[in-house]
Amino acid sequence: GNSVTQMEGPVTLSEEAFLTINCTYTATGYPSLFWYVQYPGEGLQLLLKATKADDKGSNKGFEATYRKETTSFHLEKGSVQVSDSAVYFCALSDRGGSYIPTFGRGTSLIVHP
């Protein structure tokens, strides 16, 4: 079956630090990969996505590259801000299956001034 594994949090950083949140996946088909972000008290919203190998998704300074050979989709940002404090979810959608995404457990990011 499909599964997504994320690094456990919380990840605590100072403002302007470099961020990496690791994500690896297992899929029976050729999935699309996503990062969603959840700000306190809100629902999830799409941050970025990639639909094929070597694609790079990017948004709001965040980037992630679809690495088929290592089955990974790590999230990076060069300089985090306090406003980036949130929970980040890696997810995959199996286009050969039901399209319903499988989510990782989420990684909490706390950025201090």
Partner 1 sequence: NAGVTQTPKFQVLKTGQSMTLQCAQDMNHEYMSWYRQDPGMGLRLIHYSVGAGITDQGEVPNGYNVSRSTTEDFPLRLLSAAPSQTSVYFCASSYLHRDQETQYFGPGTRLLVL
Least distance between partner 1 and beta carbon 107 (Å): 10
Beta bridge partners of 49: 34
Q: Which is nearer to partner 1, 100 or 113 (CB)?
A: 100
Q: Which is nearer to partner 1, 33 or 111 (CB)?
A: 33
Least distance between partner 1 and beta carbon 7 (Å): 13
Q: Are strands 56-59 and 62-65 parallel, antiparallel or unpaired?
A: antiparallel
Instruction: Write the CA distances from 78 to 18, 64, 68, integer angstroms.
Output: 5, 12, 23
CA distance 39 to 51: 25
Amino acid type, 86: A
Q: Which residues bind partner 1 (CB under 8 A)?
A: 32, 34, 36, 42-46, 49, 51, 89, 93, 95, 98-101, 103-106
Q: Which is nearer to partner 1, 17 or 55 (CB)?
A: 55
